[in-house]
Amino acid sequence: MTNSIVDIASAIPHRPPFLFVDRVVEMDDKRIVAEKYLSPDLDFFKGHYPHFPVMPGALTMESVIQAGAILLSMAAGAGDVSKGTPVLVRVRDAKFKKMIRPGDTITLEAELVERVANAFMMKGTAKVAGETAVSVQFTCAMAEVG
């Protein structure tokens, strides 16, 4: 299991300001639970409904997908990005159920549902205080780095 930003950085190529996972809480070969604290000073809050800031749904999905990519990267190559980088190839059944606001901590869960050749079908959620804010099904493939 990985817990630090350094380990996350070795698993996926995302970097601030486009890294939406702060830490991995738990992980096995099929499931990951991670967290992201949403500081009120994040740039997207300044422009996405400035008088009532809300995290954009696309960025919430991105957070879940990044958690899934960490899971795939760690399972496929023990965090060695040179063995391939998970890239998003499909999104299905995204549901937005609750607004995410500045100061929230989102709990990100992603689970590997099925693997077919180089495609990894996954499902995931973003939760705030135990309530589902977003649920999504997605597919990633491993892309060669270089």
Checking DSSP bridges between strand 105-116 and strand 31-37, what pairing results, if any? antiparallel
The single-letter DSSP state of residue 52 is S
Catalytic one of 48, 98, 101, 123: 48
Decide if 79 contacts 21 (C-beta within 8 A): no
Residue 48 annotated to the active site: yes
Does the CA dihedral 135-141-142-143 come out positive or negative?
negative
Token code pair at residue 115: 């693997």
Decide if 127 contacts 133 (C-beta within 8 A): yes
Residues assigned a catalytic role: 48
